[in-house]
C-alpha cells in the first residue's frame, strides 16, 4: 500500500467534509442530538404512577393504606374520586394510570379479623407498564398486610411472629436500577451504526453523480487504497462521535463507566470500521446518493434498533427472529458496550462477540473491494 496515495484520497475527502457543512453537521451534530433526545425520551423506569383513590371507608386504617401508596417512590399523589364513573373518565383521559378502591367496611373487617377486599384497577393499554404497576401494588399491599398481622399479634399479647423468610436482595452492576444506565450504552451502538453507514454511503455515489469518478479511475490509485483513503476521514469523525457520546453519557446522563476506556474504544473502532465499510459497499452498489442513503437507513437503523436487543431482549423474541439477530452486528456491539459500561469486563469475557465483529468488519471491507471496479460501465 502506498501511504502517499491513501493520504491523497483521504485529504481530498477531508477537504470535502470540511467544506460541506451539511456533511459535517450530519457527522457530528446529529449523533449528539439523537443521543440527547433519545436518552431523555426513552426510559424503562416506571415511577410516579398517577393514582386515583375512591376511599369509601374514610377511616384511619384506610388512610394508613393510602399513605403506603403515596409514600412510595412508585406512586404519585392520589387523585380522590367518588365513583367508578369518575375512575373510568380519569383513565380514559390519561389523567391516572391506576385506581385504588377501598370498600366501606375496610376498617370493620380488620377489627373482626376478616379479610378486607381492596380493588386495584390499572390501565392495561400498555401491558408492560401495567404488569410493573401491578407488581408495585402487590408489594405495597403485602407489606401493609404483614405489618397489620404482626401488630395485631403484639396487641393481643401473643408470641412474637417471625417471618419465615428474610430475603435480602442485592443488585449487581446497576444498583439503583436506573433505566438510562441500560439504555444509553445500547443507544450509542445504534447511533454509531446508523451514522457511520450513512456518512460513507454517499461517498462513492457522489463521485459517480458529479462525474469525478472518471478522474479517480484514471489515477494509479488502487481500489483498496481508494477505499481506505475514503474511510480515514469518516473513521476520524466516527471516533470523535464516540468520544463525545461517552462524555455525554457520563457527564449528562451520569451513566457509570466501569470498564477500560482502551477496551471500549478498541471494540468501537472495529465496529466502526465494519459500519463504514458497509456504507462504502452500499455506495458502490447503488451509485445514487438518494438510494444509498435510504438503503443505508433500512439496513442499519431498523435492524440495530429492533433486532440488537437494544429495546427488547432477544430472548423474548420468536425463535425465527432470534436466528435472524445473529446476522445483526449491532447485537454483539450492544452486548459488549453494556458489559464494559456496567460490569467493567474485558474482551476475555466476550471473545466470540469480538471475533464476530472483527469478521463483520473484514467481510464488509473485502466485499467493498470486490464490488468496486476501476472501469467505466
- φ and ψ at residue 144, rounded to 5 degrees: -65, -45
Least confident piece of the model among 20-29, 181-190, 268-277, 293-302:
20-29
Return d(Cα 181, Cα 261) in angstroms, integer. 17
Question: In terms of domains, do 125 and 183 share one?
Answer: no
Return d(Cα 263, Cα 370) in angstroms, integer. 31
Residue 320 lies inside a defined structural domain of this protein:
yes
Least confident piece of the model among 102-111, 119-128, 142-151, 234-243:
142-151
Question: In terms of domains, do 189 and 327 share one?
Answer: yes
Could you tell me how many residues make up the chain? 377
Last residue of a domain, one of 155, 187, 204: 155
Return d(Cα 197, Cα 293) in angstroms, integer. 8
Residue 166 lies inside a defined structural domain of this protein:
no
Last residue of a domain, one of 124, 155, 186: 155
* pLDDT for 377: 58
State how beta strands 98-102 and 119-122 pair: antiparallel
Mean pLDDT of 110-124: 84
Question: In terms of domains, do 344 and 274 share one?
Answer: yes
* pLDDT for 332: 93
E-strand stretches of 86-169: 98-102, 119-122
* pLDDT for 48: 85
The total number of structural domains that make up the chain? 2
Return d(Cα 83, Cα 65) in angstroms, integer. 19
Question: In terms of domains, do 196 and 239 share one?
Answer: yes
Q: State pLDDT tens for residues 350-366.
A: 899 999 999 999 999 99
Question: In terms of domains, do 328 and 251 share one?
Answer: yes
* pLDDT for 262: 93
Question: In terms of domains, do 53 and 30 share one?
Answer: no
Residue 168 lies inside a defined structural domain of this protein:
no
CATH of the domain at 147: 3.40.1710.10
* pLDDT for 269: 93
Question: In terms of domains, do 291 and 356 share one?
Answer: yes
| Pairs from 307-316 (Cβ < 8 Å, separation ≥ 24) | 307/331, 308/186, 308/189, 308/190, 308/333, 308/334, 309/186, 309/334, 309/335, 310/183, 310/186, 310/187, 310/189, 310/190, 310/334, 311/42, 311/186
* pLDDT for 265: 93
Question: In terms of domains, do 224 and 287 share one?
Answer: yes
Return d(Cα 323, Cα 101) in angstroms, integer. 46
Where does the pLDDT of residue 246 fall: very low under 50, low under 70, confident under 90, or very high at 90 and above?
very high
Residue 160 lies inside a defined structural domain of this protein:
no
Residue 163 lies inside a defined structural domain of this protein:
no
3-class DSSP state of 155: helix
Asked whether residue 54 carries a pLDDT value surpassing 80, the answer given is yes
Question: In terms of domains, do 194 and 97 share one?
Answer: no
Q: State pLDDT tens for residues 186-214.
A: 888 888 888 887 778 777 777 777 767 66
Give the count of beta carbons closer than 10 Å to the beta carbon of residue 286. Answer: 20
Q: Domain of 9?
A: 3-43+178-371
Question: In terms of domains, do 275 and 186 share one?
Answer: yes
Where does the pLDDT of residue 1 fall: very low under 50, low under 70, confident under 90, or very high at 90 and above?
low
Residue 173 lies inside a defined structural domain of this protein:
no
Residue 165 lies inside a defined structural domain of this protein:
no
Last residue of a domain, one of 155, 188, 207: 155
Return d(Cα 158, Cα 160) in angstroms, integer. 6
Question: In terms of domains, do 80 and 121 share one?
Answer: yes
Return d(Cα 208, Cα 238) in angstroms, integer. 24
Cβ(116)–Cβ(89) under 8 Å?
A: no
Question: In terms of domains, do 304 and 270 share one?
Answer: yes
Residue 170 lies inside a defined structural domain of this protein:
no
Amino acid at each position: 500500500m502506498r501511504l502517499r496515495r491513501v493520504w491523497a484520497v483521504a485529504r481530498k475527502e477531508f477537504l470535502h467534509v470540511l467544506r460541506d457543512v451539511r456533511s459535517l453537521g450530519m457527522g457530528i451534530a446529529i449523533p449528539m442530538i439523537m443521543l440527547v433526545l433519545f436518552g431523555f425520551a426513552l426510559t424503562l423506569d416506571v415511577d410516579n404512577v398517577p393514582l386515583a383513590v375512591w376511599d369509601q371507608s374514610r377511616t384511619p386504617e384506610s388512610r394508613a393504606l393510602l399513605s403506603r401508596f403515596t409514600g412510595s417512590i412508585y406512586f404519585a399523589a392520589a387523585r380522590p374520586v367518588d365513583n367508578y364513573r369518575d375512575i373510568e373518565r380519569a383513565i380514559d383521559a390519561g389523567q391516572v394510570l391506576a385506581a385504588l378502591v377501598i370498600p366501606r367496611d375496610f376498617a370493620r373487617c380488620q377489627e373482626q379479623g376478616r379479610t378486607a377486599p381492596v380493588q386495584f384497577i390499572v390501565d392495561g393499554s400498555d401491558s408492560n407498564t401495567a404488569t410493573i404497576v401491578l407488581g408495585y401494588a402487590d408489594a405495597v399491599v403485602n407489606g401493609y398486610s404483614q405489618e397489620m398481622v404482626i401488630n395485631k399479634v403484639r396487641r393481643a399479647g401473643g408470641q412474637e411472629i417471625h417471618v419465615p423468610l428474610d430475603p435480602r436482595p442485592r443488585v449487581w452492576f446497576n444498583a439503583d436500577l436506573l433505566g438510562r444506565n441500560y439504555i444509553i450504552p445500547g443507544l450509542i451502538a445504534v447511533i454509531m451504526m446508523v451514522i457511520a453507514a450513512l456518512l460513507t454511503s454517499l461517498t462513492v455515489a457522489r463521485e459517480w453523480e458529479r462525474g469525478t469518478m472518471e478522474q479517480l479511475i484514471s489515477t494509479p490509485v488502487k481500489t483498496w487504497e481508494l477505499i481506505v483513503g475514503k474511510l480515514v476521514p469518516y473513521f476520524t469523525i466516527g471516533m470523535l462521535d464516540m468520544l463525545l457520546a461517552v462524555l455525554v453519557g457520563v457527564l449528562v446522563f451520569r451513566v457509570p463507566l466501569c470498564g477500560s476506556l482502551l477496551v471500549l474504544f478498541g471494540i468501537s473502532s472495529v465496529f466502526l470500521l465494519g459500519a463504514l465499510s458497509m456504507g462504502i459497499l452500499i455506495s458502490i452498489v447503488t451509485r445514487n446518493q438518494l438510494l444509498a442513503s435510504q438503503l443505508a437507513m433500512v439496513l442499519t437503523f431498523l435492524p440495530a434498533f429492533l433486532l440488537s436487543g437494544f429495546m427488547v431482549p432477544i430472548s423474548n423474541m420468536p425463535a425465527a427472529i432470534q436466528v435472524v439477530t445473529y446476522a445483526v452486528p449491532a447485537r454483539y456491539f450492544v452486548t459488549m458496550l453494556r458489559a464494559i459500561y456496567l460490569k467493567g469486563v474485558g474482551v476475555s469475557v466476550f471473545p466470540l462477540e469480538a471475533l464476530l465483529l472483527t469478521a463483520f468488519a473484514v467481510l464488509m471491507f473485502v466485499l467493498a473491494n470486490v464490488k468496486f471496479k476501476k472501469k467505466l460501465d
